[in-house]
Amino acid sequence: ESPAMTRGSIPEYGGGVLVRRSSSSGSTTQGREKRLTNVALTPGRRGDGNLSWKLQMPFKFKCIGTFLGHMNTVWKLTSQARTLFSSDGKGVVKVWDMENLLQGCVQTLEAHSEAIQAMTTNREFLFTAGSDESIISWELKSLKKNVCVKNAHEDGVDCLEVVGSYLFSTSQSIIKVWDAATLQHKHTMQGLHHRVRALAFDRQRERVYSGSHNKIHIWDAVEPFALVDIIDTTFGSIYSIALTKNLIAVGTYNRNVHLYDSTTHEYKEALRGHLGAVAALGRSPTGTFLVTGSHDNTVQVWDLQKRLPYQILQRHEGPVNTLLVYNDLLFTGSEDREIKVFKLFRVHDL
């Protein structure tokens, strides 16, 4: 294990309390990694922001902290502006300020009776859904419950995405479309035969991509929500989808990330390296790097231009279910109940 991946001196954040896990000298028990300076943790400072992703290599992610407080599996991360939301297997949502990491959890929302496995936001609402088959919208300004639709699906809800004025939700063999403001049901997409575990939209927000067993369905994002195309695969269940300008990236049960041309839908190649299902995908703001989270407990950073792995992050002690890129920060959530916070550094700054 390289020094950048050792479990060393990292702060933990829970309930607004910072606990430092370092000796007075700031070194790890192995003595191989210097403690990061407080600049990386200064509230309101994000360094180069998105520009960090435009730096030429070499760069490296380093873990700068851990958010604690969830009492069960962390299932989903989503954000709006500077606010991070995390959900867990107990039906709880925790709220964090990504520009003030030292503050810890700023609020807790409780309304679901079972695991919240799907979340998304627009500029007005936070949407949550999960195993209790209900969908709830929350006002972002007050974080008060707005609308609750019970029995929205006949099975647990796996994914939520907002495109324009519509909210899309997925479950076993079905995708439903709702008015995002009122949660009134608008449409049900037919022709699906397996659980839809992945949902994403293109850069123009004109198409919605859904992933199920051996199939990627592409739909119009506006009424009448017509089926545009189907990409057949042979890689088993699709767990995650991410889109760049030129590529459709698909994380699958067979432990690989498969790449397709975003225009022709031609299969390009596979990114191999994980030892478990690839449950989460995130792209850099420039679209040149892909971040993947897997049930093998690791997070990997890939150079999409060279189609090669660039860095492996080994901080979790359970499957990684979700991740989120925010400026030069990377957040990852796992079955170990923790949210890890990584920061992007130029190598000469370490």
What pLDDT score was predicted for residue 7? 34
**Residues 341/331, Cβ–Cβ less than 8 Å:** yes
The pLDDT tens digits of the residues spanning 165-213 come to 999 999 999 999 999 999 999 999 988 999 999 999 998 999 999 999 9
**Residues 278/240, Cβ–Cβ less than 8 Å:** yes
Question: Checking DSSP bridges between strand 59-68 and strand 11-14, what pairing results, if any?
Answer: parallel
Tokens of 10: 């990292």
The pLDDT tens digits of the residues spanning 75-87 come to 999 999 999 999 9
What pLDDT score was predicted for residue 37? 26
CA-to-CA distance for 24 and 268, rounded, in angstroms?
A: 51
Sheet holding 339-346, edge to edge: 17-20, 11-14, 59-68, 339-346, 329-334, 320-326
**Closest by alpha carbon to 85, among 97, 94, 74?**
94
Cβ atoms within 10 A of the Cβ of 274, count? 26
What pLDDT score was predicted for residue 48? 38
**What are the DSSP calls for 68-132, one per residue?**
E--SS-EEEEEEETTEEEEEETTSEEEEEETT-GGG-EEEEEE--SS-EEEEEE-SSEEEEEETT
Tokens of 26: 């700031």
**What are the DSSP calls for 82-98, one per residue?**
TEEEEEETTSEEEEEET
What pLDDT score was predicted for residue 53? 58
What pLDDT score was predicted for residue 238? 97
What pLDDT score was predicted for residue 286? 81
For the chain, residues with pLDDT lower than 50 are 1-10, 13-51
What pLDDT score was predicted for residue 256? 96
Beta bridge partners of 34: 27
CA-to-CA distance for 235 and 322, rounded, in angstroms?
A: 21
CA-to-CA distance for 312 and 9, rounded, in angstroms?
A: 19
What pLDDT score was predicted for residue 347? 77
**Residues 137/160, Cβ–Cβ less than 8 Å:** no
Amino acid at position 27, single letter:
S
Amino acid at position 344, single letter:
L
CA-to-CA distance for 56 and 53, rounded, in angstroms?
A: 8
**Residues 97/122, Cβ–Cβ less than 8 Å:** no
